[in-house]
Amino acid sequence: MAVKKPKPYEIGELDQYLFGQGNHYEIYKKLGAHKAKKGKKEGVYFAVWAPHARSVSVVGDFNEWNMEANPMERAEPLGIYTCFIPDVKEYDLYKFCVETYQGEFVFKADPFGNYAELRPGTASRVADLTKITWTDNVWLENRKTWKHTEQPMSIYEAHIGSWKRHPGREDDGFYNYREFAKECVNYLKDMGYTHVELIGIAEHPFDGSWGYQVIGYFAPTSRYGTPEDFAWMVNYFHRNKIGVILDWVPAHFPRDIHGLADFDGTPTYEYADPKKGEHPDWGTKIFDYGKNEVRNFLISNALFWVEQFHVDGLRVDAVASMLYLDYGKQDGQWVANKYGGNKNLEAIDFFKHLNSVVLGRNPGALMIAEESTAWPKVTGSVEDDGLGFSLKWNMGWMHDFTEYMKLDPYFRKDHHYQMTFAMSYAHSENYILVLSHDEVVHLKCSMLNKMPGLGFDKYANLKVGYAFMMGHAGKKLLFMGQEFAQLREWSEERELDWFLLAEDEHRQVQNWVRDLLHLYKRNKAMYEMDDSWDGFEWINADDASRSIFSFVRHSRGKKKNLLFVCNFTPMARDDYRVGVPRKKQYKLIMNSDDEQYGGKGEERPEIYKAVKKECDGRPFSFAYKLPPYGVAIFEF
């Protein structure tokens, strides 16, 4: 007997089978709320997974929130509830009314909903993603052959709600997605960034969580507009040749009653055992990575952002908290794995599956791990027992760099290794060097106010630090506001202090960062061999007594190379001699002493000829007048 073929929007037997196996990668097209037509009636088809519920109904604007008006039909064996409701309109509010096995009724937002009521409201909204139009096909075609290991990546980490705001408005004054896109694109093109990384996009109830406690995994936050507005923003970035990365949070979710927690009256999405299913420090729930349907929920969500909304990459938050069963827990608060260890074997398998599928289906897309431990092969291939990520945040470099930069220059000679250590492991993973939002909150100070000294010293310290970061191996990420030396710590409650750009010192730091970013983007030596020792060469990594670092970045074939000299003390070196690889001419292309960067503007030669004089273990060298906190970048 022939099996009845389900309509495109309906849940069929094959859908249930694949979802139960954890392999229904487009389940978001079936679960949730989707515009549909039954006979001649137009309406919405609703579907939700609630395996232990006694019953589920849909309540909303269209039925006056009546629990009995639109009961859903249960499909076995998974416990997926469905119903078609005619005449439901786009943007109508709705929730699922779930009757638990104890006979209680809870009202839940749609786990697969594409749009949400603006907080403090907690309902979902019907949205039709099929009407979204895209014009970024050239970008997507080029992405298929784009290789992150060989291309520049300078990432501007941004939070839309606090980037800029409209003054004097009674509401929050947020820029909407379209307004943000237009202004931010102009800014990023001027500054020389290649990508924007957005935090706080998936729907979340509390502004102060910065989007790291998600309720609506499939919904761009309504704070800044509709899903269509969000798509317009991504499309606009792509049309202007800027990649879009989103923060993604598969590690945990909040306990809010309308969210995923105890969804059907039982631990549905989270581990049932509190020792596995709760973060004591964060007060959040941990996804059950051993449950096929939960893994499917997360993997299909990653694919949703990349394939439906054309996002170029996901930065995966709190990877370490997923890999270790005892992360943030005391003895007695966690359960060992079957071998008696602290590794979450189910999370490891999840990452391998996730990265294989997302990157296998989407060549050129990125999966980026925020992983803070020495876990091996985070960016190693799954076939070689790696986790399969494209890139990893280099948290070790960030820690060493910021600790060194905080020091009074007098004491830096005793901590010289903190700036050289990262190069000893720089090629063990594909790294991004990050100075993220986490480094400028919770009394950690802004980047500028981490710097020692007063006045000139603070700004000069920051500029030499940024130059070292840009020259070091690895992709780059800088949180918004730090490129112009924001004074205050970041707060999601206000816009950045753009007024500071009226002051010379802040404008000069911005000029410095802008020119470093453009230098990075136009010189292959800065990025095309990031994953090889052939791309980086220390000239002198051991000049601790003077706290000076010199190194070369090589392009493939060494056709065009850059020499960096960075002085981390206020001591001028009027005849600083640097060893060089070859007897060539060295052209000064960036000099921190230029007036546009806040220097004295002293005239100096543009070309320096290496002579046969040993220095730094090299047969050739040349001398240069290196100012206090001076940076000199030469091309040869």
- How far apart (Å, rounded) are the C-alpha atoms in residues 242 and 249? 23
- How far apart (Å, rounded) are the C-alpha atoms in residues 593 and 604? 10
- Answer for the pair 152, 527: CB distance below 8 angstroms, yes or no: yes
Place of tokens 């909407």: 176
Asked if 370 is an active-site residue, the reply is yes
Strand, coil or helix: what is 138?
helix
- Answer for the pair 293, 18: CB distance below 8 angstroms, yes or no: no
- Burial zone of 126 (CB within 10 Å; 0-12 exposed, 13-18 middle, 19+ buried): buried
- How far apart (Å, rounded) are the C-alpha atoms in residues 244 and 234? 7
| Residue 527 phi, psi dihedral angles, 5° rounding | -150, -25
- Answer for the pair 86, 36: CB distance below 8 angstroms, yes or no: no
- How far apart (Å, rounded) are the C-alpha atoms in residues 79 and 24? 16
Cα radius of gyration (the chain): 27
Q: State the alpha helices, DSSP H only, in 223-313.
A: 227-239, 274-277, 292-303
- How far apart (Å, rounded) are the C-alpha atoms in residues 174 and 166? 6
- How far apart (Å, rounded) are the C-alpha atoms in residues 299 and 533? 35
Angle between helix axes 177-191 and 227-239 (nearest 10 degrees) is 20
- How far apart (Å, rounded) are the C-alpha atoms in residues 630 and 92? 60
DSSP state of 165: B
String of b and e for 250-286 (b: at least 16 CB within 10 Å)? bbbbbeeebbbbbbbbebbbbbeeeebbbbeebebbb
- How far apart (Å, rounded) are the C-alpha atoms in residues 60 and 74? 20
**β-strands 366-369, 313-316 pairing:** parallel
- How far apart (Å, rounded) are the C-alpha atoms in residues 507 and 596? 9
Nearest 5 degrees, angle CA 561-CA 567-CA 569? 170
Q: Which of 370, 505, 528, 530 is catalytic?
A: 370
CA distances for 338 relative to 169, 294, 296, 344, 592, angstroms: 57, 21, 23, 10, 57
- How far apart (Å, rounded) are the C-alpha atoms in residues 101 and 54? 5
| Residue 393 phi, psi dihedral angles, 5° rounding | -65, 135
Nearest 5 degrees, angle CA 210-CA 215-CA 221? 60
* Partners of 196 in beta bridges: 156, 244
- Answer for the pair 492, 162: CB distance below 8 angstroms, yes or no: yes
- Specify the amino acid at residue 386: G
Maximum Cα interatomic distance, the chain, rounded to a whole number of Å: 91
Q: Which of 270, 317, 483, 505 is catalytic?
A: 317
- How far apart (Å, rounded) are the C-alpha atoms in residues 188 and 212? 25
Residues annotated catalytic, as ranges: 317, 370
